[in-house]
Amino acid sequence: MTVKEIFETMDYGPAPESAAEALAWLVDQGGKFGHYIDGAFTKPGKGFESRNPATGKVLAKLTQAKQGDVDAAVSAARKAQPNWEKLGGAGRARYLYAIARMLQKHSRLFAVLESLDNGKPIRESRDIDIPLVQRHFYYHAGMAQLMESELPDAQALGVCGQIIPWNFPLLMLAWKVAPALAMGNTVVLKPAEYTSLTTLLFADICSQAGLPKGVVNIVTGDGVVGEMIVASDVDKIAFTGSTVVGRRIREATAGSGKELTLELGGKSAYIVFDDADIDSAIEGLVDAIWFNQGQVCCAGSRLLVQEGIADRFHTKLRARMDNLRIGDPLDKCIDVGAVVDPVQLQTIKDMVESNTAGDLYQANCALPDNGCYYPPTLISGLETSDPLMQEEIFGPVLVSSTFRTPSEAVELANNTRYGLAATVWTENVNLALDIAPKLVAGVVWVNATNLFDAAAGFGGVRESGFGREGGWEGLTAYTKPKGKSNALTKLDATTGEGAPVDPIDRTAKMYVGGKQARPDGGYSKHVWGKSGLLGHVGLANRKDVRNAVEAAAGAKGWSKTTGHLRAQILYYIGENLSARAGEFAARIDAMTGGKTGAAEVEASIQRLFTAAAWADKYDGQVHGVPIRGVAIAMKEPVGVIGALCADEAPLLGLVSAMAPAIAMGNRVVLAASEPFPLAATDFYQILETSDVPAGVVNILTGSHAELAKPLASHLNVDAVWSFSSTDLSKEIEVVSAGNLKRTWVNNAKATDWNVDHTRQFLQAATEVKNIWVPYGE
């Protein structure tokens, strides 16, 4: 094609990026790679080939890790961790800065190798992925520098096992490795089988930067290697990948005490209102769904367009699709590259071909003869119940539906089991800021899409996982409070015989939906003190749990109240408890046979007042992200929280869990102290006289072992906490995998209830939603 022809047709000519340097690096390594363990590459062994998805050509041969390799990597990380943590934040920051600078010096090499290995267009890896990788290491170098002053009560977890996907190989590495190292942890990382090459190049960079041996260890292989890491002697697992695998990891780590962060799948809504700038919204949609060939967990793969502009929008969208350029990922003029592997390509084809609903449109553009290419695809006119509106395709396929009103848009957007991201497109800032908080998603973009930065946490809710990566909130996933906990001691109820202490029976019922309720099963148990029989309490069953959860779900208006109102009610609860302090102290002493009742009641009053004080002060942040705009980190209530309260502190344990939870706008289902439940059944009399709306607090009595499973398995429970002296951690975490609800369990470790843990409870009672709002003309 001549210059004159290009000028007359305005067609793009090829602008290929040279792969020579990347291929030369592979040749210099012998075209074969072992693992990176204890600061050095091991001898290559039997394994598998890494291929260029655009051509099918072999790039290198990689080694399939065996159990011995994983054990050696974990051992090296364990040996290196104490000295790495003792180096101090400032010492670790120097290495993180060095890695960041090395990434900058070799940025083009990383970008080309990423496109060769993954198939994404070079302009994406060059202009988005690699700069963000550098940004994460610079940002977390600063976090390391500030750790001692800003996180004085935090310490490293230890050794972190990290498993990353193939869609953003180097970026996902940075998201996990940078914060882990900054906080004093060491890592054992497994890259995806399809895309390991930039990870191995990163290992080379670590050596060049002089990173101490064993701080970063990398093992390659298939999913079996990931299972080995999950089962190994590590203190944390950080996983990004499919919801199916994430659920299996939750089950595998249950009861082990390992910390867990899961960043899983999504089916993110892209909402376009009728006042939107349509051309801008379409350009944003191109980036939302055809960026990285749609192989993005937060891709805007579910288009919701307001009915009045739907026909016009879809017409313009189809025209834009026809002008997308598909081809060699190393061509700088290409919009859409190659799907990562023939297996993934076939998955996309099968899902689209199995669909029989809606109208299918595929871009009228030529595909290369060879390689893993799939045309940009639009399927419009789908219903919410259609499989492709609910299932993650993970390819360049957009599905579409319409809505009429803003409330319907929210309802349709939230009609999914996922909750990773969403996009809102409108010129009305009032509408945008009204809709964004209502969307069940960890990230919401306004008039933009796929914005990321190290300063703003990223992560989801529901079956999109839990935990955040990036920002201050992301650091908590790699730290734990300083100090050690004592082993948990099972506390049994007092036994006895004879007549009751008080011949007048005070029937202790449960408290559900603002009313006293008898147990569904009709069974009760004795509550003995050292002085004799104190009374009876009901034995709750799964139907009582169901009734309590339904009542809590019906009180969702509590989440919309102001912090000021919630603070007033908490203060009122504290005042009413104070007025009856002597009575509650005597009840606690009678049940426990001790003399600490007065101190426990006073501590409970102080916990209520502390939670009230935080109710309107536990604020979010406005992150300083490098755009003309802001990323607003909003702290939102988790929803319905089920808690097995501490046995040893019958009033203080209940109040310590309840007060911060409802202060943040949650509703709670509380299983009272199993051996000493009467303090809880007396406490609902306080709630009844303190203006607590019905359903906000629900109290059940009975066996924690019997209540744990129905609480953890209930799909309308959003989080389960367990402080029971019966170690139910494993059972709760296994069952919670059903809908991947958040858990906070004691893992057979005792809690010192004389210490105020309110900040930890506030953190556990909130989700962080980052709302990105660009501004300017």
Query: Does the active-site annotation cover 645?
Result: no
DSSP state for residue 453 in the 8-state scheme: -
What is the C-alpha to C-alpha distance for residues 765 and 759, in angstroms, rounded to an integer?
A: 10
Indicate the pairing of strand 216-218 with strand 186-190: parallel
Q: How far apart are CA 107 and CA 115, in angstroms?
A: 12
The strand pair at 259-263 and 269-272 is best described as unpaired
Residue 154's SS3 state is strand
CB 211 within 8 A of CB 95: yes
Asked if residue 202 lies in contact with residue 178, where contact means CB atoms within 8 angstroms, the answer is: no
Q: Which amino acid is at 109?
A: L
User: Angle at the Cα of 606 (from 600 to 611), degrees rounded to 5?
Assistant: 125
Total H helices, total E strands in the chain: 27, 32
612 vs 609: CA distance, rounded Å: 5
- 691 sits in the region (left: phi over 0; alpha: psi -120 to 50; else beta) called left
Tell me whether strands 640-644 and 259-263 are parallel, antiparallel or unpaired.
Answer: unpaired
Tell me how far apart the alpha carbons of residues 113 and 328 are, in angstroms, rounded to a whole number.
14
Label residue 546 exposed, middle or buried (CB < 10 Å: 0-12, 13-18, 19+): middle
Residue 550: CB atoms within 10 Å: 17
Residue corresponding to tokens 């799939």: 374
The span from the CA of 128 to the CA of 124, in Å, is 5
Q: In this structure, are residues 649 and 683 in contact, taking their beta carbons and an 8 Å threshold?
A: no
- Comparing CA positions, the residue from 491, 490, 493 lying closest to residue 533 is 493
Tell me whether residue 297 is one of the annotated catalytic residues. yes
Q: Is 758 helix (H, G, I), strand (E, B) or coil?
A: helix
Which residue among 160, 206, 297, 298 is the active-site one?
Answer: 297
Torsion sign across C-alpha atoms 645, 649, 654, 656: negative
The 10 Å Cβ neighbour count of residue 607 is 27
Considering the candidates 114, 124, 263, 733, report the single residue annotated as catalytic: 263
Phi, psi at 645, each rounded to 5°? -80, 160
Euclidean distance between CA atoms 7 and 584, whole angstroms? 87
Tokens linked to 562:
């102001």
Distance, in Å, from the CA atom of 499 to the CA atom of 522, rounded to the nearest integer, reads: 22
Name the DSSP class of 163: E
Using an 8 Å Cβ cutoff, are 88 and 148 in contact?
Answer: yes
The structure tokens listed for 741 are 């609800």
Query: Cα dist. 96→205, 635, 691 in Å?
Result: 11, 30, 53
Question: What residues form DSSP beta bridges with 189?
Answer: 162, 218
- The answer to whether 170 touches 202, Cβ cutoff 8 Å, is yes
CA dihedral 318, 386, 405, 418 (to 10 degrees): -100
State both tokens at 614: 């935080």
Q: In whole angstroms, how far apart are CA 776 and each of 436, 627, 772, 773?
A: 19, 11, 14, 10
**How remote is the C-alpha of 360 from its chain's centroid?**
33
Q: How far apart are the C-alpha atoms of 669 and 720, rounded to whole Å?
A: 9
Q: 3-state DSSP call for residue 106?
A: coil
User: Do the strands 269-272 and 421-425 form a parallel or antiparallel pair, or are they unpaired?
Assistant: parallel
Residues labelled catalytic: 263, 297
